[in-house]
A and B are shown apart, each in its own frame.
Chain A
Amino acid sequence: MTITSKPLVERNMCGANFKFSKPEIKAIVTTVGRRAISFMESAESMGLSEKEALRLAKTLSLNTRHVVSGNQTTTDLCFESAMNILATLNLDAKSVDALIMVTQSPDYASPSSANNLQHRLGLSERCMAFDMRLGCSGFVYGLSVAYSLVESGLERVLLCVGDVASRLVKADDHSIAPIMGDAGSAILIDSGKKDSFFQLYSDGSGERALYIPNSGVRYNEFDKDLPCYIKMDGAQVFNFTLQRVPSMLSEVLTFSNFTKDDIDYFILHQPNKYILNSIQKICEIPDIKFPKDTQSIYGNQNSASIPGTISGFLSHVFERRQIRSIFAGFGIGLSWGACMIQTDKIYCPPTVLQKE
């Protein structure tokens, strides 16, 4: 495996930096929950008055979100996305050397959901399969591991990312439920010849800025009686984002030796429109290069939000020409990462609604 690190002297400032020369993204498919919920229509069921609902809708640009029904899980959404790629590109499932699943909403705490998908997709027993437990930074982290595997010799890796976050929040909790959407993306990575650059970061001191109490085997007194749902300190996450993300975007450009003008799209995790607007203005990136409507239409898709944005708003561009992109994910952990990726024309249909 070829991993090139920057000099140690800059390590504290720049985090884990590495670059690759072989892996290429060949396909991206995103499947979202079939059920579209209008925020204004659901506001009353969350105990919001019309005035409060309008205030939330205006401030956070809430419109609709797509969620699963019943017992549907992340692996169901990712299965549909992965099958779409295999079937449409007429690929032999046995040609996949590795399957990585990034999710915070696995089918079980153990075993890995990747094992379930390996079997359902008909992948070979010689295919390695494992989960990565990450949220909003998960796509960039997962992509870095997939790229590492291809760089070190594998020919084909399938990366599945996503969450059914609607099942990780209390349905009537109006502080967080209206934000969350369900999505599962599959990304096909093959060996080829493309340079890419990654920077990954983490800060566990912010562990409880965004977490699910009583969801593992640790029991804390301060978590006593708290329900097992996502708990967010919005203020801390807001500060973290504005402190870390603009500088990360600047650093990944420097590391990859490109300027803003060289980049076609800056595709960031999509928590809400206001925070994205703020990052965009701080970094002085033109509107056309900075999509930010995903959360308003589909909800916060967590680790699927970057491929979800490509599928939702840029599929026609990624299908037609060569693109140079910066991807940046940030959130729960606290964890954040960015990469500079170049793609040729790829298979990238518009967002797919989950089958009935």
Chain B
Amino acid sequence: MSEIEQYLKEAFLAATSDQYPDLHMKMDMHPIINLFDLLDSLSIVAVLIETENLLQIKLGGHISLADETIFDASKSPFLTWSAWVSYVNEKYDHH
């Protein structure tokens, strides 16, 4: 697991563990689980905020992760965990 992916997991768990206590287990068992369908919109925003904050602390500089695809049912980076990791890596590379 890359350094960024570890941070993403940490931020994801921090943002969702209260609302979805079993989610991390489901993700381990079903890595292609559709997070977009599972999470409510507030949780998705919470993940964005938590991730932006953690990456700023760990890597320095602010990366804005919100864009018009976030809540698009066919394009959202939250369709799978790997899509989310790729999405953030791409944003980081272009940062």
Tell me the A residues contacting B by CB distance below 8 Å: 51, 55-56, 58-60, 234-236, 238-240, 242-243, 274-275, 277-278, 281-282
Please name 9 further chain A to chain B contacts, defined as beta carbons within 8 Å, in addition to the given A238-B70, A239-B68, A274-B66, sorted by A numbering.
Answer: A55-B46, A59-B45, A238-B66, A239-B71, A240-B68, A274-B48, A278-B66, A281-B62, A282-B64
1/0 per residue, CB under 8 A from A, across B60-95: the answer is 001010111111100000000000000000000000
**In the assembly, what is the distance between CA of A238 and CA of B68, in Å?**
7
For residue B18, CB closer than 8 A to chain A, the reply is yes
Given A234-B41, A274-B45, do A55 and B19 touch, yes or no (CB 8 Å)?
A: yes
Chain B nearest CB from A335 CB (Å) reads 17
Q: Is the CB of B71 within 8 A of A238?
A: yes
Residue of A nearest to B47 (CB): A59
Q: Are B64 and A59 in contact (CB under 8 A)?
A: no
B29 contacts partner chain A, Cβ-Cβ < 8 Å: no
Query: Whole-angstrom distance between the alpha carbons of A256 and B64 in the complex?
Result: 27
- The reply on B42 being an interface residue by CB < 8 A is yes
Residue numbers in B under 8 Å from A239 (CB-CB): 68-72
Tell me, rounded to whole Å, the shortest Cβ–Cβ distance linking A290 to chain B. 13
* Interface contact A274-B49, CB-CB below 8 Å: yes
Interchain CB contact under 8 A, A275 and B66: yes
Residue contact B41 to A238, C-beta cutoff 8 Å: yes
Closest to A242 in B: B68
Measured between alpha carbons, how far is A60 from B19 in the docked complex, in Å? 16
Most buried by B among A59, A242, A281: A59
> In the complex, which residues of chain A have a beta carbon less than 8 angstroms from the beta carbon of B49?
58-59, 274
> What are the 4 tightest A-B residue pairs by CB atom distance, in nearest-first order?
A235-B71, A281-B64, A243-B68, A278-B66
User: In terms of DSSP, what is the predominant structure of the interface of chain B?
Assistant: loop
Question: Of B45, B67, B69, which is in contact with the most chain A CB atoms at under 10 Å from its CB?
Answer: B45
Assuming the contacts A55-B42, A274-B48, A274-B66, asked whether A236 and B18 have C-beta atoms less than 8 A apart, the reply is no
Query: What A residues does B62 contact at CB under 8 A?
Result: 281
Range for the number of chain B residues in contact with chain A: 10 to 19
A-B contact list, 29 entries, CB within 8 Å: A51-B18, A55-B18, A58-B46, A58-B49, A59-B46, A59-B49, A60-B42, A234-B41, A234-B71, A235-B41, A235-B71, A236-B71, A238-B41, A238-B45, A238-B70, A238-B71, A239-B68, A239-B69, A239-B71, A242-B66, A242-B67, A242-B70, A243-B68, A274-B45, A274-B49, A277-B64, A281-B62, A281-B64, A282-B67
Chain A's interface: helix, strand, loop or mixed, by majority? Answer: helix
Residues of B within 8 A of A240 (CB): 68
B19 / chain A contacts, CB cutoff of 8 Å: 55
Residues of B bordering A, CB below 8 Å: 18-19, 41-42, 45-46, 48-49, 62, 64, 66-72
Contact residues in B for A242 (Cβ distance below 8 Å): 66-68, 70
What residues of B have a CB within 8 angstroms of the CB of A281 in the complex? 62, 64
Cα–Cα distance between A22 and B19 once the two chains are bound (Å): 55
Residue of A nearest to B46 (CB): A59
Residues of B within 8 A of A282 (CB): 64, 67
Q: Which chain B positions have C-beta within 8 A of A238? A: 41, 45, 66, 70-71
A282 to B66, CA, bound (A): 9
Distance in angstroms between the alpha carbons of A234 and B71 in the assembled complex? 9
B contact residues around A275 at 8 Å (CB): 66
Interfacial chain A residues near B67, Cβ < 8 Å: 242, 282
With a cutoff of 8 Å between Cβ atoms, the chain B residues found around residue A56 in the complex are 42
Q: How far is the CB of B53 from the nearest CB of chain A, in Å?
A: 11
Task: Find chain A residues with CB under 8 A from B72 CB.
Answer: 239
What is the bound-complex CA distance between A339 and B48, given in angstroms?
A: 30
Instruction: For B68, give the chain A residue with the smallest CB separation.
Output: A243
Give the complex CA separation of A258 and B65 in angstroms. 28
Complex CA distance for A236 and B30, rounded to whole angstroms: 28
Q: How far is the CA of A242 from the CA of B72 in the complex (A)?
A: 12
**Bound CA span A254–B77, Å:** 32
Q: Which residue of B has the minimal Cβ distance to A283?
A: B64
- Taking CB atoms, residues of chain B closer than 8 Å to A278 are 64, 66
CA–CA, A138 and B42, complex, Å: 27
Q: How many whole Å from B60's CB to the nearest CB in chain A?
A: 15
Q: B69 contacts which chain A residues (CB < 8 A)? A: 239
